[in-house]
Chain A
Amino acid sequence: MVLITLVSSDEQNFPVERELLKQSGTIETLIVNMNLDDEDTDAAAMPIPLPNVKGDVLEKVIQWMEHHKGDPVKEGDNEDNNAEIVVPQWDDDFFKPAMYGSKHLELTVAASYLDIKNLLTLSCKAISNTFKGKTGPQIREEWGVPNEFTPEEEEAIRKENEWSE
C-alpha cells in the first residue's frame, strides 16, 4: 500500500493511502505534477504541503474520505437538481457535531480548496438543511449573524417578500 504524506498549515503530518486521495482533484493534480506515482519516485520522502488547511480540519477530511473510499468521484459542473440531493445518515452524523460552528464552515472551505466535489456537495447541503422551516431571524440567531437591519429596512424587505408568502 502506497502512502502519501499530507502536511497541514500547522505542520502536522498525515500519511494517507494513495487510493483515498483520488477523491481530491487538487491533491491528484499535485501528485501528477510531482511524479509521485512513478515507481522511481520515493513518495514517502516528498510530503504534499496544504498551507490552506489546518490539521484538525484535514483530519476530518481524511476521515470523510476513508468512509467514502470507492465512491464514484463527481466530475465537471454539477448539473444535478441540488434541491433533491439527500444527505446520507452517516454524513449527517458526521457533520452534526460541528453544525452552526466554524468547524463545519472550515470543512466546507477545505472541501472547496481540495476540490472534493462529493464532500463539498454534502457539506453545503447539510448547511442549507439548517435553513429549512426557519424564519430569517431564526436563521440569524442560529448562525450568530448580527442583525444589522434597521426596523424600517426589515419592514421594507418583509413587505417585498409578502407577495411570495
Chain B
Amino acid sequence: MQSSLLSNTPSPSLNCESSSDEEEITLDEICDRNYELSLLERLPRELVMEIISFAPECVFRLRLTSRMFRAIVDDFAYNQGNAQIADEVMFTSFEWDSKKKTEVSAVVPKPIYKLFELRLLISLRALRFDFTKRIDRSFDKLDDHPNVYKLNYTSALDYGRMPLLQCLTTLIVSTYFLLSLSTLVRSLYLEQLQVFGTSGWSPKYFFGTHHVDWSATILRMFERRRLDALCIENPRYPAYLTAEAAEMLREGFAIELQYLPKTGKAVWFEATCSVYSDEGFAEVTNGHLVKGVTFDFNRAGSLSVKHFSRNEERLSKYE
C-alpha cells in the first residue's frame, strides 16, 4: 500500500539550512531515504502543500515534525502560498538624526500571520539579517483585527558615501520584496510618494533606491507565476525608468531576450516615465498595444504595454 502513495515526480531541490550546523539537505536527498518515511510524508509533495495551505497557523509546529515536513513547509512559506499574505505593505523613507531611515510596515490578517512570520523569518535569514530585535509587532487581541509589523533599517547619509554592502542590501531587500510579491498577487499598484529631507535627491528615485535597472526587475516580476498586471506611478522622480530600460521593456535588445509583449502572458503594464517627453508612439507587438505617451499639463508621460483583451482594464490603488 505504501508504494501507491509515493510520488513519482522528482521533487525540486530545496536548500534546507540547519540552523545548528549549516548542513544543507535537499528534498531529493530526503526523498532518497523514503523507505524511512511515514505514510503522511509519502504523500505527493503537491498534496502536502495543499494540506499545509489549510492550516497556515500550524506552520511553525509542522517544522518540528520531520525534516521532510520542515523542508516542504519552508518551501511553501517562501514560494508557493496562494493566499493573500498581507492586506497592506508600506515603505516610508525619512531622515532622523542625519541618518536615512526606511520603515517597512505590513498589515497581516490574523488567520495567516504565522505563515507571514515564517516567510519573513526565511527571507531575512537568507539575507543574514538579524531581524528579531528589529521588528516591532503589534498584536490586537480581537480575532478579526490584523497584526501590524514594522521593520526599521538605517541607510547611510547619502548614497554617494554609502558603503557598497549596505547599498547592496538595500537593493536586495527592495527588488527581492517585489519579486516575492509577484509570486503571490496577480496585480500590483506601486505609487512612489514624495520623499522629504533626502540629502541625495535624484530624479531617479524609486522604491528606496536610485541605482536599479528597473527593466530587469520588472521583467523578472512578470516571469513569476502570478503577476500579469503592474502599474507604477512615480511622476515626482520621472527618470527612474531610463530610455534604455524603457526600450528593453518594449522590445528587448536582442531577439532571444524576453520583453513585455513576449512574456507568454496577456500583460497589463503602465508606468509613468519621461522617456517619451518629446514624441509619443503607438505600435502593436504580439497582440499587445505598446504606447509611449508624452506628458502634458494634466498627466505624466508614460509607457504602456497592454494585451488587446485587457485594453479597457483599469488598475488603481482604489481597486
Q: Do A and B come from one complex?
A: yes
Give A residues with C-beta under 8 Å from B: 52, 54, 77-79, 81-85, 101-102, 105-106, 108-109, 112, 120, 124-125, 127-129, 131-132, 134-137, 139-140, 143-149, 152-161, 163-165
What residues of B have a CB within 8 angstroms of the CB of A136 in the complex? 61-65
Give B residues with C-beta under 8 Å from A: 1-2, 4-5, 18-21, 36, 38-44, 46-47, 50-58, 60-67, 69-70, 82-84, 111-112, 114, 117-118, 121, 132
Tell me the bound Cα distance from A145 to B278 in angstroms.
67
Partner of B65, one of A105, A120, A145: A145
Partner of B114, one of A81, A148, A164: A164
Partner of A145, one of B2, B41, B111: B41
What residues of A have a CB within 8 angstroms of the CB of B111 in the complex? 81, 83-84
With contacts A135-B61, A140-B66, A154-B64 taken as known, whether A85 is within 8 angstroms of B54 at the C-beta atoms is yes
What residues of B have a CB within 8 angstroms of the CB of A132 in the complex? 55, 57-58
Partner of B52, one of A105, A128, A161: A128
With contacts A134-B61, A145-B40 taken as known, whether A160 is within 8 angstroms of B19 at the C-beta atoms is yes
Told that A81-B83, A139-B65, A145-B38 touch, could you supply 11 new A-B pairs with CB distance under 8 A? Answer: A102-B39, A108-B43, A124-B53, A127-B40, A129-B55, A131-B61, A144-B38, A145-B66, A155-B20, A161-B61, A164-B117
Contact B38 A143 (CB under 8 A): yes
Contact B66 A109 (CB under 8 A): no
Closest B residue to A158 by CB, please name it.
B64
Tell me the bound Cα distance from A106 to B51 in angstroms.
14
Tell me the bound Cα distance from A54 to B52 in angstroms.
26
What residues of A have a CB within 8 angstroms of the CB of B38 in the complex? 143-146
Identify whether the interface residues of A are mostly helix, strand, loop, or mixed. Answer: helix
What residues of B have a CB within 8 angstroms of the CB of A164 in the complex? 60, 114, 117-118, 121
Closest B residue to A110 by CB, please name it.
B4
What residues of B have a CB within 8 angstroms of the CB of A105 in the complex? 5, 39-40, 42-43
Tell me the bound Cα distance from A105 to B50 in angstroms.
13
Closest B residue to A109 by CB, please name it.
B5
Contact A83 B57 (CB under 8 A): yes
Partner of B39, one of A144, A159, A160: A144
What residues of B have a CB within 8 angstroms of the CB of A148 in the complex? 36, 66-67
Contact B114 A143 (CB under 8 A): no
With contacts A81-B83, A120-B50, A136-B65 taken as known, whether A146 is within 8 angstroms of B36 at the C-beta atoms is yes
B37 to chain A, nearest CB (A): 8
A61 to chain B, nearest CB (A): 14
Contact A157 B43 (CB under 8 A): no
Closest A residue to B41 by CB, please name it.
A145
Contact B65 A82 (CB under 8 A): no
A143 to chain B, nearest CB (A): 4
With contacts A85-B54, A120-B50 taken as known, whether A102 is within 8 angstroms of B64 at the C-beta atoms is no
Contact A82 B62 (CB under 8 A): no
Contact A139 B61 (CB under 8 A): yes
Partner of A161, one of B20, B46, B56, B60: B60
Tell me the bound Cα distance from A147 to B53 in angstroms.
23
Tell me the bound Cα distance from A138 to B20 in angstroms.
23
A29 to chain B, nearest CB (A): 19
A44 to chain B, nearest CB (A): 29
Contact A83 B112 (CB under 8 A): yes
